[in-house]
Structure 1
């Protein structure tokens, strides 16, 4: 009899790991509920918020890319 894991056992282990990761992600997603509860259905009064996010979004992606390069070098994403 062969020792080790067969293909089906490996799939079960991999799917269990993905489920655990997804559960951790969902736990952090739940932290947004108090912020969403504060929404009253009206737009905010400060018009600069629009421009803040126009700048924030690309800048945070740029900084995340720089951080990835600093930590992992020029390695492929996959």
Structure 2
């Protein structure tokens, strides 16, 4: 997928999100759907760009980074909740 295609998908996502927020303000369901569209489009782009192979290098770093990041960010969120 070329950079122009990715830019077009990103602009389309922003447009759909804007339309959902401007023209459908009364329905909270439509607002939630409009906010979910960028996430869904980015997931489709990532899946489209996936070539079916695992990364050859850096696997160990990412594995341990996310093992440490998940509990650390929960701890920070918990501390913020206690502080507020």
Would you tell me which structure has more helix in proportion to its own residues? 2
Q: What TM-score, normalized to structure 2?
A: 0.47
